Structure 1
Amino acid sequence: MTDRYLDPHQARQRTPTTYEDLLGDAIERAFAAGVHDLAGLVERLNDSGLASPSGKAWTEAIYREEMATLGA
């Protein structure tokens, strides 16, 4: 029997999309590089080549909106 409190995906409703996987990877790389502020994270996302959902450059507002959408 699996302990539900040790399941890292217990709240997952579906498998992540390729875009969500790539976004998560880019965010993890930024954190691993010591970036822990929103401005730095947005800069790293733009440097990564991963486009925002609108295809525009990442901004703090676009990042916040995307996180709210993905977290809903």
Structure 2
Amino acid sequence: MLNRTLYNETHQNRTAPPTAYEGLLGDSIERAFAAGIHDLEGLVAFLNEGGPAGPNGQPWTTASYQQEMARLGA
């Protein structure tokens, strides 16, 4: 019997490739983390300064960020 460690492959749970919007959002979040921003308010401010815009082109709020992350993670 093989002894395998179970792990989740990158994008294993995706049903489709990421959209351009998802890619830009992910890149911006990674840049924020790399800049030392780890709190929600700081992340929202970073996104509002550097984009992409929030849902429907609106500025990000803490509530819209949380809702969008829930939607994207569903």
Unpaired runs of 5+ residues, structure 1, are none
> How many residue pairs were aligned?
70
The aligned residue for residue 29 of structure 1 is 31
CA distance in 2, matches of 1:48, 1:11: 28
CA distance in 2, matches of 1:35, 1:54: 25
What per-residue deviation string (whole Å, max 9, x for no partner) do you get for residues 6-64 of structure 1? 62221121100000000000000000000000000000000113111121110001101
The aligned residue for residue 19 of structure 1 is 21
1:49–1:26 Cα change, 3 Å: same
- Matched residue SS, 2:37: coil
Q: TM-score, with normalisation over the residues of structure 2?
A: 0.85
Unpaired runs of 5+ residues, structure 2, are none
Q: TM-score, with normalisation over the residues of structure 1?
A: 0.87
State, as a whole percentage, how many aligned pairs show the same letter.
60
The aligned residue for residue 42 of structure 1 is 44
CA distance in 2, matches of 1:68, 1:31: 19
1:6–1:70 Cα change, 3 Å: closer
CA RMSD of aligned residues (A): 1.6
